[in-house]
Amino acid sequence: TAPPDFFVSDAVHLQEEVAMKGASSGAGPEEVVLAAQGGEEAPVLAWVDGGGRVDATFEGLFMRGPVSGVTLLMIAMAYGHAGLAEALLWRGADVAVWTSDGDTALTFAAANGREKLVELALRHGAEINQRDLTTGCTALMEAVAFGHERIVDTLIRHGAEIDMQ
C-alpha cells in the first residue's frame, strides 16, 4: 500500500508560525512536510534546528479520512526514510506520540513494511503492543493485515503479543 498523504491545516500553520519566527530556514510547515515525504533531510533538519518543533504535528489524509497529530517522525517512518528518522530521533523526536487515531511511528513503519524503521522505533522505546484508537490494531496486526511477513517476524522476535484480541 502507498503511504498516506499529508497536508497542513490552517490551525497547524498558525500554531507553527510562532515557531517559524526566527528560524533560519525559510521553509514553512507545508514545505517541511513535503520535504519529509520526499526524504529531503536538509530542509527538514534546517527547520527543526532553526526553531521548529521536532514533534510539531500536522494532518494526514488516510483512506478512512483526515487524522491530526502526525509528526515528522511518523512521515519519515511511513515513507521509509531511515536517515531522516534517525536524525529526528537524535534531535529528540518522541516515538510515543499518538495521532488522533492512536497511531504511532511504529504503526506507520509496520503498516508500510519498513523493517529497519520498525527496529529503530523499538530501539527508541516504542510500545510494541500499543493499540490504535479506531480499530484497536497493534503494529503486529497492521503488519499481518498488509502482508509484511518480515515485519511480523521482527515484532514477534521483539515480544509482540500474538494472542491479543
Q: Tell me: the pLDDT tens digits for 76-100?
A: 999 999 999 999 999 999 999 999 8
pLDDT for the residue numbered 68: 85
Q: Tell me: the pLDDT tens digits for 22-42?
A: 333 445 588 899 999 999 999
Question: What value does the mean pLDDT of the chain take?
Answer: 83
Domains of the chain by residue range: 5-157
- CATH code given to domain 5-157: 1.25.40.20
Quote the CA–CA distance of 117 and 76 in Å, as a whole number.
Answer: 9
DSSP string, 9-48: -HHHHHHHHHHHTT-SS---HHHHHHHHHTT-HHHHHHHH
What the block records as the C-alpha cell of 94 is 518522541
pLDDT for the residue numbered 108: 93
* Integer CA distances (angstroms), 36 to 23, 26, 60, 74, in order: 17, 15, 13, 10
Phi, psi dihedrals of residue 7, rounded to the nearest 5° = -140, 160
Among 44, 164, 154, 60, which residue's Cα sits nearest to residue 104? 60
